Structure 1
């Protein structure tokens, strides 16, 4: 009988061992002698700081524990309990604004291939964000308010599953037991913050707790979310950190890190953690400047001889602010700053002149960030109010292929829009430049076309509302330092809700040659009319010809008809820009030309959606077979 009991006990022990998770743990009190896998711009500084990002803009960094860990039981595949603790710091150039944040990540791979920086935190991209096939769990520390991801504010902690729309989020704060409330905590204060992330496989609860590094672990977590990790985690997963930078210079640091599966993570030795670099006095933005300006005015008013000068100066920079603009104040620049940035709107800073205003290059005096400032005159009060509301809605758009609207300013009958500055200017100036160094090669053109298509797809389908641009053309596509194309100038755009009918008619706007034929009869701008203009744009980029070539022969006057005629004759490739020479990929060229013809079809119903166009360009969807009957004739419509 004793032998039977002994045998059962041994068998029970073996079963428990087979079911239990590995007792894996590690601790890094600084990262001088650690074997991490780095990707992007992440690195370890000489004193042992893990620096995820540096002063390089729009980049990403990854640092993963080099060995994958087993997160599931051998016997039944259930998720393991785990616990981790780390100390981080986000140091921004400014006290009241930061670049994008960073995240603790559980990933199937140690490299996030295809991920993007900025709002995507080096984790995802527009194509895979939210896909269940990602198998990614992350705890984000986000310092930018991205409405496209449903962010609650610009200083929050969130739990992310396979995408950046958090399943649980809360403003950054920690529970103070002595007063029984949560105290606010700035993620980008530049001071070290300690984090505890714990998962219990019995109740399937993921808890996230934070506090300043000099405060003991709070008794109540900031976030507590029920998550079944069985469908998310593979048996073996990498764990580490991901971070990304944007347009504001910000550094993300990890000072120490401990981790344990099936137990409590070892306590960090806080006194032995590496020190953060000595910080220069960080700059502030509007609030401090206004305070200093007012102090200067009070002081100067004490001097009678300065009154006349101050009054005239005040009138020069006087702005218009009304009650209804309060909702948009976070986007507002002072006129004085914009005046200084553009050196008084000197002609030497003029970038271009259009029907919608004059655009000047500027450098913001506080941050030294280069911007483009557009000046628009307006006299109608109601029209101004509607315009501000619409522009500010568009100002919430976030996509790598859209020119970012940074803010605005109002002064008397004048309206100023502030955009990110793109050093390579507009695409049309390079397409039609005479000198060779300014020309755009085929690879660049193909990438620009794909970029603009991705931006339009975002406007039409991915944002919270449908945005119809209404003025797509080469001169409204701007190029950054790496020749990435960004669609800009949203002054004519219209917004409406998904699933609704844009049944309002307006006067016809746009540029001759890009206007869809149905627009002249209905006056209704839709996504179909945008697709038509995109088709013309595509042909313009591939052929190096304007939509209407003044001075050309009758049979080649209209770009669409000329390309269509060449296609019917079987000489489609001859329509390519002669400046390309032989430096192009025939398969890509024919794909682009055919997409241009399909998109510029005279019938709106025959045109593809921008989702389909993106799939055509990336080879994810076969291009429909063209026929003479389908392509029709623009001149006959």
Structure 2
């Protein structure tokens, strides 16, 4: 065979291969065009709605049929992630600087109940997709208790947070924050947008159920990160909400993924992203608002429509069925009868129908009974539509005026938002009965964990320490961080409930009183639980934050010792505070520690917590710390005062001890509190 023939035969063999490669290149180009990714670069994309194939999803995240990215759904305490599949090359390899970049997106938060959102969502830049090891609830699906704040995370997040969390230094329950490697924001501001016409920022509610647009712009030359937000009907404001000077070179790696993360916490909330664009070294392309997918319709209950339906049904029934059937319907309606009075319209607290709660609890049977207290019986239930687990407390309240005041207190309490307070979802009223609807706490009350011999495991020291700190954080929020002062008036172990992660949450605000900052509390009749009541309360009748601190001090001793505030000793009642004080004086403090701990604790930590308990339960109100000081003690930002070896001056609460210490100076009144850097609770 000649050379020319051989070359011709070789060419015939290569032609099919070349044609196959051409078809693959054409297909690749077509995929790039369809997915909105440039064929020449992966550093720019635009999504006006989403398809399942375009994003990496995990957790409960999903793409709805009409193209919404839904990060969370009706599943509690879960997380959802939706990431752009292709990694971004964000760094200039020659000088190590992060490129200028820009991104914008449209989002919406749809809570189950108006103005009650879950834990929020965040746009993220991360070395990996899916954020393995991240926890839901307060961590937004970004971090966990071990890695939160670690510089090795290399995570930048812009959080849209709808829950106040003091642990992370949140400014309120409706803010935008810039997070570097952890959830303690480098910079944060209440959600708002600048209006040029009036020259100031207008407030935005992140849980308004309306779509909003966010722009995030990073400039490499200025090392400036700007975050801007507005309703979608408003063009991009001229002034950003956040403008932070930051060099991202130490945070951003050469290759990063970008996406969204969210968690609903214990309140069912759907977090949606409608559209998203990104561009390196330029302005992110504008989204086409008319092409974005629509949000689900809001579920509003129309009382008028419901009434018309029922009246029409009544007429049909009257005409078509027998008198006995009509009597049955009348009896059934009487079973669910309830009255909505005009004064209740003033309160925005969500009101459930009695029928809803009757069905949710399956008729309040004994098998669903969670507990019985002095103010009512508590039943477990599940809302039929959302499958949310709830606890329903039934309280008899026959006085009409008393009921009105009571519901007013409920309305105020329902606005409280803190991770260590049991969230009140709403109420119902029927005849002389009020029903309060709370989030369900799967691990029950702390009282049961401390004293029920049938519990399979006892609380560890680290769990007890975590519960004490959580309740202290919740009380600080009530006393100082909310818009009004809330005096709880019934702090005790049975009113502290435990969630699925054994976090302590203070509940039962049936006795709480609210008053404005700077005003004096009113004199009322003495209420509370014997053993927790501050001595001055029985004399003045004035419940204050200081009387709450006294009860909290008793609560601390109860948790550490595993004993009730009033103990039986040789046929006599002995106050727990006196017993601990005597043990301190006699140098046998280990004897008061709950024996079920089996020595699995750090004695120095236990002694410190007991000191705080005795300090809080001092009979002299001026000697007690504020809850802010208590938190500073627990965080190690303030050192505790020196306590005499004999225990004198810590506290007195019985006549015998008052005589015994009558010539002693109450050393804690004038104690010197100074700052220290060491944290005795580091790691908690």
Bin for the TM-score computed over the shorter chain: 0.7 to 0.9
In the alignment, what sits opposite 1:495? 514
3-state SS of 1:359 partner: strand
In the alignment, what sits opposite 1:27? 45
Residue 247 of structure 1 deviates from its aligned partner by 3.3
Question: Does the 8 Å CA contact 1:95/1:283 hold for their aligned counterparts?
Answer: no
1:91-490 map, 5 Å:
99-104=118-123, 162=186, 165-166=189-190, 168-169=192-193, 208=229, 221=235, 223-226=237-240, 229-231=243-245, 241-250=260-269, 252=271, 257-265=276-284, 287=301, 291=305, 294-304=308-318, 305=322, 306-435=325-454, 437-490=456-509
Residue 257 of structure 1 deviates from its aligned partner by 4.5
| Higher CA-based Rg | 2
3-state SS of 2:524 partner: coil
- Greater mean alpha carbon deviation, residues 223-232 or residues 599-608: 223-232
In structure 2, C-alpha distance between the alignment counterparts of 1:313 and 1:362, rounded to whole Å = 21
Q: Aligned Cα RMSD in Å?
A: 5.0
Residue 365 of structure 1 deviates from its aligned partner by 2.6
Deviations 1:448-491 (A, max 9, x none): 11111111111111111111111111111111222221111111
In the alignment, what sits opposite 2:620? 603
Change (3 A) 1:31 1:25: farther
Question: Does the 8 Å CA contact 1:205/1:224 hold for their aligned counterparts?
Answer: no
Question: Does the 8 Å CA contact 2:215/2:227 hold for their aligned counterparts?
Answer: no
Gaps of 5+ in 1: 1-22, 126-135, 172-183, 212-217
Residue 69 of structure 1 deviates from its aligned partner by 5.0
Q: Does 1:547 align with 2:565?
A: yes
3-state SS of 2:590 partner: helix
Residue 494 of structure 1 deviates from its aligned partner by 1.0
Change (3 A) 1:254 1:344: closer
2:600 to 583, 599, 609: 583
Question: Does the 8 Å CA contact 1:372/1:421 hold for their aligned counterparts?
Answer: yes
In structure 2, C-alpha distance between the alignment counterparts of 1:185 and 1:485, rounded to whole Å = 27
In structure 2, C-alpha distance between the alignment counterparts of 1:453 and 1:95, rounded to whole Å = 28
In structure 1, C-alpha distance between the alignment counterparts of 2:391 and 2:90, rounded to whole Å = 48
In structure 1, C-alpha distance between the alignment counterparts of 2:287 and 2:362, rounded to whole Å = 52
Question: Does the 8 Å CA contact 1:151/1:165 hold for their aligned counterparts?
Answer: no
Question: Does the 8 Å CA contact 1:424/1:480 hold for their aligned counterparts?
Answer: yes
Residue 210 of structure 1 deviates from its aligned partner by 6.6
Residue 323 of structure 1 deviates from its aligned partner by 1.9
Gaps of 5+ in 2: 1-40, 145-154, 179-184, 196-204, 253-257, 659-684
Q: How many equivalent residue pairs?
A: 567
Residue 193 of structure 1 deviates from its aligned partner by 8.6
Residue 199 of structure 1 deviates from its aligned partner by 7.6
3-state SS of 1:626 partner: coil
In structure 2, C-alpha distance between the alignment counterparts of 1:437 and 1:592, rounded to whole Å = 26
Deviations 1:327-377 (A, max 9, x none): 324510001111222222223322222221222222223222221111222
In the alignment, what sits opposite 1:616? 633
Question: Does the 8 Å CA contact 2:534/2:550 hold for their aligned counterparts?
Answer: yes
In the alignment, what sits opposite 1:7? none
3-state SS of 2:464 partner: helix
- Greater mean alpha carbon deviation, residues 356-365 or residues 61-70: 61-70
Q: Does 1:592 align with 2:609?
A: yes
2:548 to 515, 530, 533: 530
In structure 2, C-alpha distance between the alignment counterparts of 1:67 and 1:608, rounded to whole Å = 52
Deviations 1:273-309 (A, max 9, x none): 9x99xx9xx8975616984675255224312234323
Change (3 A) 1:288 1:253: same
